[in-house]
Amino acid sequence: MKHNIVRCLCLLLPVLWLLTGCAPAPAPTAESYDDFVVVGFSQVGAESDWRNANTLSMQQAFSESNGYRLIFDDAQQKQEKQITAIRNFIHQGVDYIVLAPTTEKGWDTVLAEAKSAGIPVIIVDRMIEVEDDSLYTCWIGSDFLGEGRNAVRWMDQHLGDEPLRIVHLQGNLGSSAQLGRTAGLNEGLSTHPEWQLVYRESGDFTQAKGQELVEAILADGLDFDVIFSENDNMTYGAIDALKNAGLTPGKDVTIISFDASRHALELVMQGQISYDVECNPLHGPRVESIIQKLRNGLSSPKLTYVQESAFDAENVTQSLLEERGY
Ligand code: GZL
């Protein structure tokens, strides 16, 4: 199965040449493909700064200079596009499939096809839920419930037991990041009767939708004290909406966010975001290290959680901003 497409192309080229009289650019020969480890990467999309940093990290790790040929597919946040991409990877006979899944469910059938083709699948970032966990070799990503609990702990410690009216901007519904962060907030709501959830909607992790949602609740005259936003891009949109309404983020409204990208931490330093829980996107070297292990006949833990931090005005420094990798 390996690189069948490539071999077919090599056979067709001379015929095309004779028919068209023009010499097409030489396709990579099977040997040239064989010089590389071919990795098919199905990415969620380009919905956020986090996602773009994750893509760049993967592209840098799986470079030709590192011995890889990366076949990259952007699913535009649609699971059906990811399923099609995985089937294409199988057909092309890649050596490894890396999947950053949009949502947790719906992967059993296509991953069974990858297993039948003998292609190892590595899950990165969000988690998947399958009947048979042999359908993927291993997963590496974040503890999203832990991230949500971290945010609630900070709220408990810094916002005291005063009554809080909370606006909750959720990420892509059904994604591990949304499920975990939401579960953390729900635990907080159940243990703090003085906290009231006054609004909950999904902003799809995008800045535009985050701004749209907050503009709408301001227009409706909703009163609230806290915005619990499940990623920085939705937070940027919410901040724009607050400012356009004459409100001061961090003063009139406390903002809790997730991802902790460099720009967001600048806003933490300025007092606009009160607390930002890190979700580290720089998975490229981590996934590449897993593939190196597998190629050397070594195993990798089934689940690997990356170490992450969190930031408020107390621990954000200029040097931290300068050194930040994303
Ligand atoms: C989290 C990742 C989420 C980020 C968002 O690991 O899946 O998706 O928090 C991104 O910024 O869109």
pLDDT in tens, the chain (326 residues): 344 444 444 444 444 444 444 444 454 444 445 789 999 999 999 999 999 999 999 999 999 999 999 999 999 999 999 999 999 999 999 999 999 999 999 999 999 999 999 999 999 999 999 999 999 999 999 999 999 999 999 999 999 778 999 999 999 999 999 999 999 999 999 999 999 999 999 999 999 999 999 999 999 999 999 999 999 999 999 999 999 999 999 999 999 999 999 999 999 999 999 999 999 999 999 999 999 999 999 999 999 999 999 999 999 999 999 999 89
Q: How far is the CA of 276 from the centre of ligand 1 (A)?
A: 13
Question: Which residue among 44, 50, 78, 282 has the greatest number of ligand 1 atoms within 8 angstroms of its CB, and so is best to mutate?
Answer: 50
Residue 206 Cβ contacting ligand 1 at under 6 Å:
no
Residue 205 Cβ contacting ligand 1 at under 6 Å:
yes
Tell me the pTM.
Answer: 0.89
Q: Whose CA is nearest to atom 3 of ligand 1?
A: 177
> For residues 1 and 160, what is the distance between their CA atoms, to the nearest angstrom?
61
Angle at alpha carbon of residue 41, lines to 39 and 43, rounded to 5°: 170
Phi, psi of 34 (to 5 degrees): -65, -15
In angstroms, what CA-CA distances link 11 with 3, 6, 15, 17, 30? 13, 9, 8, 11, 11
Phi, psi of 267 (to 5 degrees): -70, -30
> For residues 102 and 45, what is the distance between their CA atoms, to the nearest angstrom?
9
What the block records as the tokens of 238 is 């919410």
Residue type, position 62, single letter: F
Phi, psi of 266 (to 5 degrees): -65, -40
Residue 102 Cβ contacting ligand 1 at under 6 Å:
no
Q: What is the DSSP string of 91-157?
A: HHT-SEEEE--SSSSS-HHHHHHHHHTT--EEEEES----S-GGGSSEEEE--HHHHHHHHHHHHHH
What size, in residues, is the chain? Answer: 326
Residue 166 Cβ contacting ligand 1 at under 6 Å:
no
Count CB atoms within 10 A of the CB of residue 276.
27
Residue 123 Cβ contacting ligand 1 at under 6 Å:
no
Residue 51 Cβ contacting ligand 1 at under 6 Å:
yes
Is beta strand 310-311 parallel, antiparallel or unpaired with respect to 275-278? antiparallel
- The answer to whether 198 and 181 are in contact (CB under 8 A) is no
Which atom of ligand 1 lies at the shortest distance from residue 258's CA?
9
What the block records as the tokens of 109 is 């059938």
Q: How far is the CA of 51 from the centre of ligand 1 (A)?
A: 6
Q: How far is the CA of 202 from the centre of ligand 1 (A)?
A: 13
